């Protein structure tokens, strides 16, 4: 055990976060997302599990260590709702609240169509799957600098 590190952060996740560089993306997702399939195409190449955490809890733990990129207009990307692209799901609102609170500022979140989101996710550094039931609990966080 180390001081100051959220207990939801495993040794594997800590190693992944430390290995990422500025501009690298991290996908955090719900249990419905094809996370294992997408993880195979990422830089890390394996799925990281945060079993027992919902998305807000996972995001809070991750963002306690991971700075969001301030050099891009929207350092967070979410998936649009199929057949209702303007719809905001409860999980989107919960994550927006957590991200803004942890960052201490309003953070823009970009929305992508489902298959565009999948393509972007495959270029991420790693995929972290939570136990959140979703739906549409899929977010890509772009790492910034300290």
For residue 64, what are the contacts with CB-CB under 8 A and spacing of at least 6? Answer: 6, 9, 102
Instruction: Give catalytic status of residue 118 as yes or no.
Output: yes
Spot the catalytic one: 30, 118, 132, 136. 118
Query: Which H/E stretch holds residue 16?
Result: helix 11-19
Contact 77, 109 (CB under 8 A): yes
Spot the catalytic one: 24, 69, 92, 132. 69
List the structure tokens of 83.
């057949």
d(CA 80, CA 109): 11
d(CA 101, CA 104): 5
**What residues are labeled active site?**
22, 69, 118
């Amino acid at each position: 055990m180390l001081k100051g590190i959220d207990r939801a952060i495993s040794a594997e996740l800590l190693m992944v976060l430390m290995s990422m560089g500025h501009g690298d993306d991290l996908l955090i997702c719900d249990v419905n997302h094809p996370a294992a399939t997408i993880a195979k195409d990422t830089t890390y190449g394996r799925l990281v599990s945060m079993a027992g955490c919902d998305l807000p809890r996972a995001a809070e733990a991750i963002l306690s260590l991971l700075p969001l990129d301030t050099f891009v207009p929207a350092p967070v990307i979410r998936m649009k709702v199929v057949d209702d692209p303007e719809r905001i799901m409860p999980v989107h609102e919960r994550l927006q609240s957590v991200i803004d609170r942890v960052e201490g500022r309003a953070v823009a979140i970009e929305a992508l169509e489902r298959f565009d989101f999948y393509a972007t996710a495959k270029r991420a550094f790693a995929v972290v799957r939570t136990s959140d039931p979703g739906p549409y609990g899929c977010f890509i966080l772009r790492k910034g600098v300290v």
